[in-house]
Every structure is written in structure tokens, then in C-alpha cells.
Amino acid sequence: RVNLVERGGGSVQAGGSLRLSCEASELTASTSTMGWFRQVSGNEREGLAVIDADGYTTYGDSVKGRFTISRDNAKNTLYLEMNNLKPEDTAMYYCAADPSDVATLYTPQFQWDYWGQGTQVTVSS
């Protein structure tokens, strides 16, 4: 059974940094498209960053230049380095995986095969 486990959320002041991780089991991260999303209660889930099997990355406009997605194939783990955090970055953060490596940042949520349980990020002003 595929499992994605996010870690690294927490509370930080504006301007600070956090690094999220998403460890995959029963799924090969290096051959999958993987992505980071976030959701504020009552809002739609927002795509933040995606990395495909070739290592090509795409970022949403709200995080471009501040967040960096990366992957450690040996650890089968996805990361999201978040810098210069703002209060509006407060949300539940999720990772997702598409083993068929066709998803993009704009692929609807229901077409991503696997999701983690989420980790909360809170940024105070």
C-alpha cells in the first residue's frame, strides 16, 4: 500500500524558513511526478510546486522565488524548502504523487493518485 508521510510543519514568524519532507513508501519517487499543495479551510487546494521524473520543476506564482522543490532519490523523499514565509502561507500542506508521471501543476486533484495526510504550517506576523 502506497503511503506518503509529510513532516516538518510548524509555527514560524514572517520572514522565517521551514523545510517540509514527504517520505514515500511502496512507490518510487524518482520515476513519479510529485508535488506540493496547500489548503486553507474552506478554500480549494492550491498547487505550489511539482517535480517530474526528469527533475523538471514548475512553481505556482504565489511561491515562485521563495519555495524550492527537490527530491532525494536514495531516500525516496520529496522536499519543499520554504523561505521568506508570509502570514498568507499559513495552510495545511500536502504532498501528492502520480506514478504515471503525467501530472502537472495544473492537473486536477482527483487525477493525482496518492496524497499524504498533510502537515500544518502557521506563519505569524
Sequence letter at residue 113: D
The string of pLDDT tens digits covering residues 6-34 is 999 999 999 999 999 999 999 989 999 99
The string of pLDDT tens digits covering residues 19-76 is 999 999 999 899 999 999 999 988 999 999 999 999 999 999 999 999 999 999 999 9
* Contact predicate 37/60, CB 8 Å: no
Residues 104, 54: Cα–Cα separation, whole Å: 13
Instruction: Please tell me the predicted confidence (pLDDT) of residue 42.
Output: 86
Strand, helix or coil for residue 110: helix
Print burial letters for 44-64: b (CB count within 10 Å at least 16), e (below 16): ebebbbbbbbeeeebbbeebe
* Over residues 106-123, mean pLDDT: 95
